[in-house]
Homo-oligomer: A and B are copies of this chain.
Amino acid sequence: MSKQGITSRDESFSDWYNDLVKRAELAENSPVRGSMVIRPNGYAIWELMQRALDDMFKATGHVNAYFPLLIPMSFFAREAEHVEGFAKESAIVTHHRLAQTKDGLGVDPDAKLEEPYVIRPSSETIIWHTYKNWIQSYRDLPILINQWANVMRWELRPRLFLRTTEFLWQEGHTAHATFEDAEHEALTILNECYARFAEEWMAVPVLKGVKSKNETFAGADHTYTIEALVQDKRAIQAGTSHHLGQNFAKAFDVTFTNKEGKLEHVFATSWGVSTRLIGTLIMMHSDDKGLVVPPRLAPIQVVFLPMGRDEDIRKLTYAKSDELATLMRGHGVRVKVDKRDQLSPGFKFNDWELKGACIRVEIGPRDLEGGTCVVARRDVGEKVTVAFDQLADYIHAQLDAMQHDLYARALAFREANTFRVDTWEEFEACFAGEGGGGFVVAHWDGTDETEAIIAEKTKATIRAIPMTPLHPDDVKPGKCVLTGRPSTQRVVFAKAY
């Protein structure tokens, strides 16, 4: 247990995660089964994520809209795989009124809905019902719409951020005239938005690939994914982009007149990332002291800790801190000055390590005399004395360096935990025991059955069929690691959250 009240990762990665999320006040469980409260410290990260992603979506031609939370049950039944995928985990609204009964407040039996509504687990059905009225001709295409929303999928084993009954996300839903246009869209989102966001903002290297049929979205033609490998060597699916083919257009009878004057079904994509990204971020970079956040997504990039036992001295260190904080804010840096004078410096150091401020600046009476302050980076810890007039430059350089270093460290970790194996013995050994086993790159015979047997034996699933091989040899033919049957390329297995 660290000073911050967090179980160490070595002791139990799972307890470490739960402790950290609670102690850093990022989120907590709620009285609604599987639903979380996202506290201000956690929500501030989500807001920065939203802003960055939204800018990327708009830069690639998308606009936002909003569709209803509730979906008529009959809409669900229209796309067979979709209902199969979501029926078992949906919240159902059956009544529209409460009433006083003899046992107190209850559901009013006279206010039963003719048709139940499902709280959206994803909005393909209601959106494609709507698009039917918007699309007549190829001139109405493409439609490039995104929605920021809450969704619900009933979870039996919830986990804060990673898997919750209600979560926040964005869901893009686009309509196109051709298969190629939809394919281009699905890949643009994966490459230009999701992978770039993960790598450049979250400092999380991601594997890009196609999902096997077992892991493809319910109702999609094929699904692209970005997968991260976090510190306990498990994979997290961080975002998915689906080429839906004409499946939803057929289910909702959405046709258009093409340039040749012929009636055709519309092609579609959908794509989403969620508050699960916050869980990914935590598991990727944080340590036993608490949260570590890459600077571009850190709500507090720099915290000033003015010190001094006497009020007279504090007055001076406070003033200097305020002055420097104003300067840094002028440079676009997110800054906080901690003036909680009833708390000891030691307590505050621990607290800001827990909360994940990227850089700590200490200013005490001796610093004032010397015209310097003591600066420490959250991920490195080493204290460096910096002159006041150098501080802005130093902080900029350190924020850039931290963003870069976190990515480099995560990439090195992934590379050190990516294994190529050719025998079943090696494969099983990788996934033995409770922890993860890294990314295991192995040949697979391409069948659902083999994938299912492997999952049953090892808990490892195919995270992705890489779009570009991790190594040139990975696309040479080989033999399936389980069955020995022929395989055209290696795929990536991992235990996943």
A10 to chain B, nearest CB (A): 30
Which chain B residue shows the least CB distance to A116?
Answer: B107
A425 to chain B, nearest CB (A): 41
- Check: A250 CB closer than 8 A to any chain B CB: no
Pick out which of these stretches binds chain B: A94-102, A210-218, A237-245: A94-102
A139 to chain B, nearest CB (A): 8
Which residues on B sit within 8 Å (CB–CB) of A38?
A: 65-67
Which chain B residue shows the least CB distance to A75?
Answer: B31
Which chain B residue shows the least CB distance to A340?
Answer: B139
Q: Does A76 contact B98, Cβ atoms closer than 8 Å?
A: yes
Partner of A32, one of B70, B87, B94: B70
- Check: A43 CB closer than 8 A to any chain B CB: yes
Q: Does A40 contact B69, Cβ atoms closer than 8 Å?
A: no
Which chain B residue shows the least CB distance to A143?
Answer: B40
Q: Does B39 contact A166, Cβ atoms closer than 8 Å?
A: no
Which residues on B sit within 8 Å (CB–CB) of A77?
A: 104-105
Pairs across A and B, CB under 8 Å, 16 listed:
A28-B130, A30-B67, A37-B67, A40-B64, A46-B66, A47-B64, A69-B150, A69-B166, A73-B106, A76-B98, A83-B105, A89-B96, A92-B96, A92-B98, A92-B107, A149-B150
- Check: A145 CB closer than 8 A to any chain B CB: yes
Q: Does B43 contact A65, Cβ atoms closer than 8 Å?
A: yes
- Check: A90 CB closer than 8 A to any chain B CB: yes
Q: Does B105 contact A31, Cβ atoms closer than 8 Å?
A: no
- Check: A154 CB closer than 8 A to any chain B CB: yes
Q: A37-B130, A69-B152, A154-B97 are in contact. Are A64 and B44 (CB under 8 A)?
A: yes
Q: Does A93 contact B66, Cβ atoms closer than 8 Å?
A: no
A90 to B98, CA, bound (A): 7
Which residues on B sit within 8 Å (CB–CB) of A93?
A: 91-94, 119
Contact with B along A93-130 (1 / 0, CB 8 A): 11111110000111100000000111100000010011
- Check: A35 CB closer than 8 A to any chain B CB: yes
Which residues on B sit within 8 Å (CB–CB) of A168?
A: 66
Which residues on B sit within 8 Å (CB–CB) of A226?
A: none
What 11 new A-B contacts, CB under 8 Å, besides A30-B130, A32-B117, A91-B95? A28-B133, A31-B129, A35-B68, A37-B68, A66-B168, A69-B150, A73-B98, A89-B97, A92-B97, A92-B98, A119-B119
Q: Does B97 contact A87, Cβ atoms closer than 8 Å?
A: yes
Partner of A95, one of B30, B72, B94: B94
Contact with B along A352-370 (1 / 0, CB 8 A): 0000000000000000000
Which chain B residue shows the least CB distance to A91?
Answer: B93
Which chain B residue shows the least CB distance to A90?
Answer: B98
A interface residues, Cβ below 8 angstroms from B: 28, 30-32, 35-40, 43-44, 46-47, 63-77, 83, 87-99, 104-107, 116-119, 126, 129-130, 133, 145, 149-150, 152, 154, 166, 168
Q: Does A63 contact B89, Cβ atoms closer than 8 Å?
A: no
Q: A97-B90, A98-B73, A98-B87 are in contact. Are A40 and B67 (CB under 8 A)?
A: no
A126 to B166, CA, bound (A): 15
A261 to chain B, nearest CB (A): 16
Which residues on B sit within 8 Å (CB–CB) of A119?
A: 69, 93, 119
A32 to B46, CA, bound (A): 29
A495 to chain B, nearest CB (A): 27
Which residues on B sit within 8 Å (CB–CB) of A126?
A: 30-32
Which residues on B sit within 8 Å (CB–CB) of A145?
A: 40
Q: Does B96 contact A35, Cβ atoms closer than 8 Å?
A: no
A307 to chain B, nearest CB (A): 20
A91, A154, A166 interface centre (most CB from chain B within 10 Å): A91
Q: Does B65 contact A37, Cβ atoms closer than 8 Å?
A: yes
A44 to B64, CA, bound (A): 7
Partner of A68, one of B32, B89, B99: B32
A315 to B116, CA, bound (A): 55
A437 to chain B, nearest CB (A): 33
Which residues on B sit within 8 Å (CB–CB) of A90?
A: 96-98
A330 to B97, CA, bound (A): 52
A55 to chain B, nearest CB (A): 12
> 4 closest A-B pairs (Cβ-Cβ)?
A35-B68, A87-B98, A40-B63, A38-B66
